[in-house]
Structure 1
Amino acid sequence: MEVETENGGNSDGRLLDFLSKGVSDYLFDVGATSGVKITAELSGGEDMKLVTLPQDRSSGRSILSWQDVYSSAVRWRQISEPCDPVVWVNKLSEEFNSGFGSHTPMVLGQAKVIRYFPNYERTLNLTKTIIKEKLCVRSKADKVIDLSKDDKIEEIMRAETCEELHKIVGEDFWVATWCHSTAFEGKRLEGTRITCIRKPGSLGYDFAIRTPCTPARWSDFDEEMTSAWEALCNAYCGENYGSTKLQALETFE
């Protein structure tokens, strides 16, 4: 069955409204032409209302943000994996404001987490590289721990386990990777955090990857995602896309 709708000029509905209704019962193929007409072929036999995307009147192009695209994946996951919580972190008001984040342990006490432990050696080496570059780490209380003295950097580079690393630093600590901004030249964004925490007593160490999500961090990466999405849309909607002319392809990014 083919469903077709024309843009009447006043529609501000979203394609995602259609996608969220069809994910559980239908296989569909959706195509859009300049935000004016959208068609869909459904494998089901029921009629479904198909709405058009909001449109930028000045350019004639449909307005679809990166969050709209990811919302479709979120809805799909919520339906297909009802036991897994899939939410927008920035909508968890209290947790978001206090710095809610994901926690992916590779070593949990004395146990190796089978699913993530294959990344242990790589993460340990990355931790040492970051410490060598910055000459410091952050404590559990978010204070700077200076490691530039007493040959500690040399000892850290020789460490082969997270336990040895923790003993050299002397307390629980974390370091952060960095991402270079593509939206603002020269800007660096905090990536994921690598934490090393000693368990009480003699129960080993927690060596994990944590990704905090605070309002400031969300704002930074929202700008990055918006910029990247606009660049992708411009590339696919530009005059050079699909061209076989060498000169046109040289300017295509």
Structure 2
Amino acid sequence: MQAMQQLQWRDMFDIAVKWRRIADPDQPVLWLDQMPARSLSRGFNNHINLIRGQIINIRYMEYFGSILNFIKERILVYHGAYNPRGLQDVKQALENVNKVEDLLPIMKFNSKTRDGFTVNSKVPSTKDPGKEYDGFTITITGDRVGNMLFSVETQTTEERTQQYQSEIEALYKDLTAKGKALMLSSELGDADAVCNLILSLVYYFCNLMPLSRGSSIVAYSVVMGALMASGKEVVGRIPSGKLVDFEAMTTPSLDRFSKTTKSWMNLKSLPSWYQNLPSVAETFQFSRTMIEVLNTDSSTHCPKKS
């Protein structure tokens, strides 16, 4: 008799990935580490233009401020190390920086940043306190407003992928153990610990950006499903302009990310009738039924807030 294979973290996320593929077949959703070796040998970048010339990517505008503050901090660190004599001038100039375009004159303060510069974020490890992983890279180039590039990207390399997957695997192992304990307990602390572990998984998943597209919706779908499995229902909504993946990427602390996303979700205990709902796998067995339900008008079931 063959033993039942235990669900792993990738299997859990892959459920949402398969639905995302069905939702929009024209956009391939791929696990980047499973792409051909020749595609990954030089690194695969998830690249997002925030400002390119006169085109502003309004989807991410809510995060321009936090990214700008991070850049200003790194500029001060850089000039403190390599341009200490000019540090005071840079500090004064940064006080007048209120938008990304205002950074262009400051780039001229140092010959090495005259044509542009990059800033790298770091993601703290939970498994190995004190250790940090490479986050995303911010790039700014250009010489004037209307002729600048402001972009972010994450690089998929074998080493970086292994680091994040090791973190996710450790969290998933802990989640599995605490999830089993929660089934036998009614303590509120156990439920909160499970919720924090679910959000921790998503924090590292989003910073890894392991998919060719759709990481944000896949991550949030997994959060909602995993919380339902733990007896919690998400009744809140993601605020307008906010994105799960960018919230994780631009938040330097896992605790802050968990606190913020919890405030969005407004968790409640699942009503008892959830137990009587039919199985998703049995109800939507075929691609046709999956497409039909994805195209169902749900506005009557999910009324907008007045």
Return the TM-score normalized by structure 2. 0.53
Deviation (angstroms), 1:245: 6.0
Give the aligned partner of residue 71 of structure 1.
14
Give the aligned partner of residue 85 of structure 1.
28
Give the aligned partner of residue 133 of structure 2.
189
* 2:82 matches 1:146: yes
Question: Counterpart amino acid of 1:164?
Answer: D
For the structure 1 residues 146 and 83, does the alpha-carbon distance in structure 2 shift closer, same or farther, using more than 3 Å as the test?
farther
Question: Counterpart amino acid of 1:116?
Answer: Y
For the structure 1 residues 214 and 147, does the alpha-carbon distance in structure 2 shift closer, same or farther, using more than 3 Å as the test?
farther
Give the aligned partner of residue 103 of structure 2.
165
Which one has the largest radius of gyration? 1
Report which of the two has the higher share of helix: 2
Give the aligned partner of residue 2 of structure 2.
10
Aligned residues: 185
Indicate if the aligned counterparts of 1:106 and 1:113 stay in contact, CA closer than 8 A: yes
Q: Following the alignment from structure 1 to structure 2, what is the Cα–Cα distance between the partners of residues 231 and 88?
A: 24
Q: Following the alignment from structure 1 to structure 2, what is the Cα–Cα distance between the partners of residues 87 and 78?
A: 9
Give the aligned partner of residue 243 of structure 1.
185
Deviation (angstroms), 1:165: 1.8
Indicate if the aligned counterparts of 1:162 and 1:205 stay in contact, CA closer than 8 A: no
Deviation (angstroms), 1:81: 0.9
Deviation (angstroms), 1:157: 4.6
Out of 127, 130, 141, the residue aligned to residue 71 of structure 2 is 127
Q: Following the alignment from structure 1 to structure 2, what is the Cα–Cα distance between the partners of residues 249 and 216?
A: 34
For the structure 1 residues 212 and 136, does the alpha-carbon distance in structure 2 shift closer, same or farther, using more than 3 Å as the test?
farther
Report which of the two has the higher share of strand: 1
Structure 1, unaligned stretches of length 5 or more? 1-8, 12-52, 55-62, 138-144
* 2:36 matches 1:96: no
Secondary structure of 2:59's aligned partner:
coil
Q: Following the alignment from structure 1 to structure 2, what is the Cα–Cα distance between the partners of residues 74 and 245?
A: 33
Give the aligned partner of residue 147 of structure 2.
204
Indicate if the aligned counterparts of 1:135 and 1:153 stay in contact, CA closer than 8 A: no
Q: Following the alignment from structure 1 to structure 2, what is the Cα–Cα distance between the partners of residues 157 and 101?
A: 33
For the structure 1 residues 232 and 136, does the alpha-carbon distance in structure 2 shift closer, same or farther, using more than 3 Å as the test?
farther
Runs of 4+ in 1 over 6 A off after TM superposition: none
* 2:54 matches 1:110: yes
Q: Following the alignment from structure 1 to structure 2, what is the Cα–Cα distance between the partners of residues 118 and 64?
A: 36
Using CA pairs under 8 Å that are at least 6 residues apart, name the structure with larger relative contact order, 1 or 2: 2
In angstroms, what is the RMSD of aligned CA positions? 3.0
Deviation (angstroms), 1:166: 3.4
Structure 2, unaligned stretches of length 5 or more? 108-113, 195-306
Give the aligned partner of residue 23 of structure 1.
none
Q: In the TM superposition, what are the counterparts of 1:218-237 in structure 2 within 5 Å?
A: 218-237=161-180
Q: Following the alignment from structure 1 to structure 2, what is the Cα–Cα distance between the partners of residues 183 and 67?
A: 18
Give the aligned partner of residue 121 of structure 2.
177
Between the aligned residues of both structures, percent identity stands at 24
For the structure 1 residues 198 and 235, does the alpha-carbon distance in structure 2 shift closer, same or farther, using more than 3 Å as the test?
same
